[in-house]
Structure 1
């Protein structure tokens, strides 16, 4: 059933089934209303008679345990009802985590750390959202850690981030992104600098595990960890590193038996490794679409969206006032290395960057570190700006920033390979 349009249509769903639809056209708009019964989207309950609006790029699966009627208007590329859904298994995973939480609460121990792993486009961030929503619906306050630098569910791509989840995600917007803890990585894949990636993951794990002790409810609620879709070779080594850094007690493997068996072999027997099917509604995205999603996230960081527009600032900064650095120096041959220094040390070295025209469109991270003598890698990020112009004659750059001029005193900016063409009108 494709290209539904007109005055709308009612879909009657039986228990344990879901309505799936996708929207690919620009400016397309689909409105869904729950007429009767009970339904949820990725763990967030739908309110009866309330209109929910979805636009281009939406891939939606509305699930019901008991049956419901949904009224849908608008134009979709794909729309169907499916009885084949893994939601019951996902609910069982939540129930198992809840057992761990109750035990942790009784004994005043740290709650469960669950990692969600699998190749790209199997629904890892969707499963994280479902587990987090179910947790807050029973009164928990879990942390959500996002290690997927390729897409970035919390901060923009090229960073790892953690956020406290206190209420269910909004159906249309997802979780609020207020006050995240963000660490700069600066590449779209861990392969950009494996040593640095492991260092920032370790740092974030250390800080978030310590922070659990500050609040009793969060301590017993634990952490849900989303990971990258790179699961072979060095990518697999990164997963093992993250599992050790966070002390994961459960690893949910989506749709890959080989990865499941490798983890069973390589993680301690005390870690529960569970193989889960992906949802039939999960669709593989092309490289172009993944790039578009990255761009959209950066654009939303600066400009917001139709529901909550932001108005960023543009201002000039002279080269002499621009304290710009990158983490990771080009490799040196062993013969040129200082005695006792290893090549790995180069991967985490903070190096000054001289502004050139090549800097245009690059996203820069503003760190809370005030000097290169500080622990730049282990210091979190205050925000981002983007270079929209480089004027070599005037020795100045133009920055797009959520905050007005000037940059904070002693502002230290970190280069990132991510680029954003600011063509917003």
Structure 2
């Protein structure tokens, strides 16, 4: 039984929400401030003190992370947004609101990143000529190194190509801790057929999502947080196989290649992850942002001989004066990804409320993916440890009381046995209550689905403690 609270209808005015009526025309801006950006100058905007700002490019040309701004549109950004506006020729920007603004004329880093895009285009032209797979780039870096922005820049520049040179690269987001494509605890990919919308990022792209369920990569670095390295590596290899099949069937994607955003690497603990990723996706470019020491380590690592023979490890400077995200900002980013997938984007559907489901425990199959605590010494000799740690096994009601405020993944399969081999994520649920009595055993769930499409659900360590 689903209860809409309330349901969005075709008559709902989506321009009116908690932020009031959003401006559509330039004349609707109230006392905007004028900002001029000179040629080869960057303006960084940090919306930290005000709840919302409205931006209009009145004159000239500019781009946000490689996506062009239009003079025919008002852009709205909410608190917590960090925007970088770059102009090659100069422009005039009108801003309603009082964000923190920093201008810089250091065009060296942006020019280097754009030149790298041009180098990738040369490889794509060779791929078109020989009908082979284009460049596959793995982007590495520490936290706050600008990996997500660099990936977005390369993707937008590629998607802006027109005519016969139009590119549709695959974006692979392996950063399950601070994801851009899906919710935390998942890895995902999407085909880039158009530049991102500066307001909505990747919200409108069709995504293929695989579950992981944790927020940790290495027990040594965070022993109090649960992780499952066998499961993580298995899902990475599975995603690599999916993309290989996509390349076989899609000529434009094959020639455009892939751009892979890795999770934050932590010294030597992450090298096993890096080489698993590079081998699964047959990477031929590893780009390291702002860490020359890691470049030297990767170039001389003995495992490199198992990778593609044309692999190049490249040191790339990161953008200067990056505003580092605090732990609180990173937590809010994760929560925003969850809310976008359950409540909808606040600017796209500000009146949207999820459906409330009262589900009998017997009507669903609630499973846990992988068993990270299993001891190999306790298993029979002929049992594969990796298969045990990556299989899904059903849970009993007495084991799920802790799931209140946790996220569940809706899978596309009908049995627990198929989760490891065929399972992918098609939706998300937020657990709001667990009721166990002699008369009924129910879960109270929130979802953007009016009816649950499948009954096999996976638990996760991801939480959203909503008010």
For the criterion TM > 0.5, the same-fold answer is yes
Q: Distance in 2 between matches of 1:378 and 1:282?
A: 40
Q: Distance in 1 between matches of 2:375 and 2:56?
A: 63
Q: Tell me, which stretches of 5 or more residues in structure 1 are unaligned?
A: 1-5
Q: Is 2:151 the counterpart of 1:128? A: yes
Alignment of structure 1 residues 190-209 onto 2, 5 Å: 190-191=217-218, 192-209=227-244
- Cα deviation digits, residues 19-48 of structure 1 (max 9, x gap): 112011352x22222232221110011112
Alignment of structure 1 residues 6-45 onto 2, 5 Å: 7-25=31-49, 27=51, 29-45=52-68
Alignment of structure 1 residues 269-308 onto 2, 5 Å: 270-308=310-348
Q: What is the CA-CA distance between 1:225 and the residue it aligns to?
A: 0.6
Name whichever of 280-289 and 116-125 sits farther off.
Answer: 280-289
Q: Tell me, which stretches of 5 or more residues in structure 2 are unaligned?
A: 1-29, 219-226
Q: What is the CA-CA distance between 1:368 and the residue it aligns to?
A: 1.5
Q: Distance in 1 between matches of 2:41 and 2:456?
A: 51
Alignment of structure 1 residues 125-274 onto 2, 5 Å: 125-138=148-161, 139-191=166-218, 192-266=227-301, 267=304, 270-274=310-314
Change (3 A) 1:415 1:45: same
Identify which of 365, 371, 385 aligns with 1:329: 371
Alignment of structure 1 residues 1-150 onto 2, 5 Å: 7-25=31-49, 27=51, 29-48=52-71, 50-76=73-99, 78-85=100-107, 86-138=109-161, 139-150=166-177
Answer yes or no: is the 8 Å Cα contact 2:144–2:322 preserved in 1. Answer: yes
Q: Is 2:398 the counterpart of 1:357? A: no
Q: Name the Cα RMSD after superposition.
A: 1.9
Q: Distance in 2 between matches of 1:367 and 1:221?
A: 29
Change (3 A) 1:13 1:414: same
- Cα deviation digits, residues 161-216 of structure 1 (max 9, x gap): 01011111111111344431111100112331111111001000111121112121
Change (3 A) 1:81 1:320: same
Change (3 A) 1:334 1:113: closer
Name whichever of 14-23 and 48-57 sits farther off.
Answer: 48-57
Alignment of structure 1 residues 382-397 onto 2, 5 Å: 382-393=426-437, 394-397=440-443
Q: TM-score, normalised by structure 1?
A: 0.92
Answer yes or no: is the 8 Å Cα contact 1:331–1:343 preserved in 2. Answer: no
Does the residue aligned with 2:418 lie in a helix, a strand or coil? Answer: coil
Change (3 A) 1:179 1:50: closer
Name whichever of 126-135 and 365-374 sits farther off.
Answer: 365-374
Length, aligned pairs only: 414
Q: Distance in 1 between matches of 2:426 and 2:131?
A: 33
Q: Distance in 1 between matches of 2:334 and 2:365?
A: 26
Q: Distance in 2 between matches of 1:185 and 1:381?
A: 10
Answer yes or no: is the 8 Å Cα contact 2:412–2:424 preserved in 1. Answer: yes
The aligned residue for residue 3 of structure 1 is none
- Cα deviation digits, residues 129-173 of structure 1 (max 9, x gap): 110110011121111110000011111110110101111111111
Q: Distance in 1 between matches of 2:375 and 2:125?
A: 54
Does the residue aligned with 2:373 lie in a helix, a strand or coil? Answer: coil
Name whichever of 208-217 and 342-351 sits farther off.
Answer: 342-351
Name whichever of 155-164 and 223-232 sits farther off.
Answer: 223-232
Change (3 A) 1:221 1:114: same
Does the residue aligned with 1:324 lie in a helix, a strand or coil? Answer: strand
